[in-house]
Structure 1
Amino acid sequence: MSYKDKKVITIGMVSELTGLTERKIRYYEERKLLFPERSKGGTRKYSFLDVERLVDIANKMEDGMQTFEIRRMEQKAIRKQEVREKMLRGQLNAAFNIRK
């Protein structure tokens, strides 16, 4: 796991880093665009990748996109990546004559 994946940043620090309000950050979580972890005490914890993601979301929103459009784009990208990985596994299996 990269340091960028570790969920260690509080919402206050994320707000400072991104310029977004805590309320806006929580809204993006409600809209299922962001998935922070929770500490035992319930504090949201974010990663550096989450911070980068929030900046990307904010830029898309500023360009006029809606949250559902952003979520749909991400889901489409995830499906494309899954198809690519499946095709690559198939090619490797065929190349090395691996049968399941």
Structure 2
Amino acid sequence: MASYRDKKVITIGIVHELTGLSERRIRYYEERGLIFPERTTRGTRKYSFSDIELLIKIANKREEGVQTNEIKKDMQNERKKKNMHDGIIQGQLNAHFKTNSRPNIK
């Protein structure tokens, strides 16, 4: 079951109010591959609380002068490290419990 933080239920207007970012800026971060809202059947973007936190982090980095391509690269590196860490933990659990389950790395 997904955490409430990860459920995509918040509209772009509310995200704008919570973050202070313009809707145009939020869509730009989506275009740059930094944020990934879900879309309803009518095309409405839906965001999660985790997305809002990420948008604030992105905005803070932009204020420090970091370019969006650098932010994207950093985010990809963080995901790779997390996936590698998760794989190591899974491997240790498999070895300890002598299972043959393969790590579920995304």
TM-score, structure 1 normalization: 0.93
How far residue 39 of structure 1 moved from its aligned partner, in angstroms, is 1.0
Q: CA RMSD in A?
A: 1.2
How far residue 90 of structure 1 moved from its aligned partner, in angstroms, is 1.8
Structure 2 gap ranges (5+): 102-106
After the TM superposition, list the runs of 4 or more consecutive aligned residues in structure 1 that deviate by more than 6 angstroms. none
Matched to 2:6, the amino acid is D
Match of 1:44 in 2: 45
Larger relative contact order (CA 8 Å, sep ≥ 6)? 1
Instruction: Count matched residues.
Output: 100
Q: Residues 48-59 of structure 1 correspond to what in structure 2 (within 5 A)?
A: 48-59=49-60
Distance 1:83 1:3 in 2: 25
Q: Quote the sequence identity (%).
A: 58
TM-score, structure 2 normalization: 0.88
Match of 2:78 in 1: 77
Distance 1:14 1:99 in 2: 43
Distance 1:57 1:51 in 2: 10
